[in-house]
């Protein structure tokens, strides 16, 4: 297994929900399956632009931002639906909460995309097996198809996930870059849009291979420092880490373990939960983080995976507090079957240094110097209007 996980490198998945809005509509209304579906802002008047479309429409030439009127000329029988962003956000949260159960190193890139660093997940199997399991279980649980790219860095993982849609799993290694990426149009490089591609073409850079071989000076004159970075990326170089803090609403700190033998004894399971709680607590303290939401992941011997979470009224970081919530969740939702994997994750974790302490007006003397404006203001009010003018709430 070590051959799949380089000692000094990374293994990164880019997970892309295919035709996400349309797929969610089909999941919510199975009667739409096998029908062409377009998501657009004004279906009643048949105006506006295409926000999303399923593959039955895409395969007939419909694309995002196309005028709805033009799309309906290509697919007149299409079912047109107004976007329901609340439902899309809920599906996104549920899917990527499940994905984060495999590794706490998940970076939420957009509503339908995320990067997952599985470099330390040897116990879960080979990377391609992990990718296929995620793909299979998301389809089974949420009815949403995924394409997944597997690569040693974020850029190559993103490029790989775009190569086979829907429901593709693609591996792209650095040694494949010259044969796989370089012949492709420069416009297909993630991070290069139409305008930049046009400027590059004007100087004779038509393919990713042309970009990979261009001089730094030439690229800097066209794109600035970004040109140098894009050259590195199409050469397979990208040192950006997967950063869970990139999107605070999905920041998580967690750990999971796969057992050598399936577990059924409550006492043994308690011991594993205790060890996981200890690990999560230590990592939270290293990062100076706290959380109010604890999630437990249970994977059974048939690979069925269940995730459950609880949100508290206060921030926690200590092992005992994490363990108490995790045990309550586990024993409430465990069906008694053999357990293959357990995980604990502190979700929506916050850096304690960013949490502003709200000073209690009625105990502030213990914390504030008498020269502070707050102290002076409260005392002035009391002197002018009397002690009764400032009272604690709910008295």
The answer to whether 63 and 82 have CB atoms below 8 angstroms apart is: no
Residues with Cβ within 8 Å of residue 129, at least 6 apart in sequence: none
Residues 249, 108: Cα–Cα separation, whole Å: 9
DSSP 118-168: -TT-GGG--HHHHHHHHHHHHHHHH---EEEEEESSHHHHHHHHTSSTTT-
Reference 252, options 114, 91, 369, 48; nearest CA is: 114
Residues with Cβ within 8 Å of residue 319, at least 6 apart in sequence: 274, 277, 278, 280, 281
Residues with Cβ within 8 Å of residue 235, at least 6 apart in sequence: 177, 212
Active site residue 113: yes
CB atoms within 10 A of CB 204: 9
Reference 226, options 155, 173, 177, 156; nearest CA is: 155
State the catalytic residue, choosing from 107, 113, 317, 327.
113
Instruction: State the helix-helix crossing angle for 194-202 and 216-223, rounded to 10 degrees.
Output: 130
For residue 358, how many C-alpha atoms fall within 13 Å in the half-sphere facing its CB? 0
State yes or no: 112 annotated in a binding site.
yes
Cite the annotated binding site for Mg(2+) by residue number. 16, 112
Residues known to be catalytic: 113
């Amino acid at each position: 297994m070590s051959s799949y996980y380089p000692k000094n490198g990374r293994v990164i998945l880019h997970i892309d929900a295919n035709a996400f809005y349309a797929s969610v509509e089909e999941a919510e209304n199975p009667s739409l399956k096998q029908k062409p579906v377009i998501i657009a802002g004004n279906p009643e008047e048949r105006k506006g632009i295409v926000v999303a479309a399923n593959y039955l429409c895409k395969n007939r030439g419909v694309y995002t931002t196309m005028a709805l009127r033009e799309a309906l000329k290509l697919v007149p029988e299409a079912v047109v639906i107004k976007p329901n962003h609340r439902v899309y956000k809920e599906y996104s949260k549920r899917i990527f909460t499940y994905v984060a159960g495999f590794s706490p190193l998940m970076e939420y890139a957009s509503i339908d995309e995320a990067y997952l660093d599985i470099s330390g997940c040897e116990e879960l199997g080979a990377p391609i097996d992990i990718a296929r399991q995620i793909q299979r279980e998301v389809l089974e649980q949420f009815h949403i198809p995924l394409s997944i790219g597997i690569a040693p860095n974020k850029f190559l993982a993103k490029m790989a996930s775009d190569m086979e849609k829907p429901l593709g799993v693609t591996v792209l290694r650095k040694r494949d870059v010259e044969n796989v990426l370089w012949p492709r149009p420069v416009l297909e490089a993630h991070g290069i849009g139409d305008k930049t591609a046009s400027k590059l073409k004007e100087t004779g850079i038509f393919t990713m291979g042309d970009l990979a071989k261009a001089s730094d000076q030439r690229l800097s004159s066209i794109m600035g420092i970004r040109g140098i970075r894009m050259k590195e990326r199409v050469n397979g170089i990208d040192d950006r880490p997967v950063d869970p803090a990139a999107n605070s609403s999905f920041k998580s700190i967690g750990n999971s373990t796969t057992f050598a033998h399936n577990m059924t004894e409550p006492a043994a399971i308690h011991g594993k939960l205790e060890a996981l709680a200890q690990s999560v607590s230590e990592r939270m303290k290293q990062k100076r983080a706290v959380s109010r939401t604890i999630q437990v992941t249970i994977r059974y011997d048939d690979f069925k995976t269940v995730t459950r979470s609880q949100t508290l009224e206060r921030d926690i970081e200590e092992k005992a507090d994490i363990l108490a919530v995790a045990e309550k969740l586990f024993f409430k939702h465990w069906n008694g079957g053999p357990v293959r994997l357990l995980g604990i994750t502190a979700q929506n974790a916050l850096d304690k240094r960013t949490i502003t302490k709200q000073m209690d007006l009625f105990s502030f003397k213990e914390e504030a110097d008498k020269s502070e404006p707050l102290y002076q203001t409260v005392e002035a009010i009391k002197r002018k209007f009397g002690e009764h003018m400032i009272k604690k709430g709910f008295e």
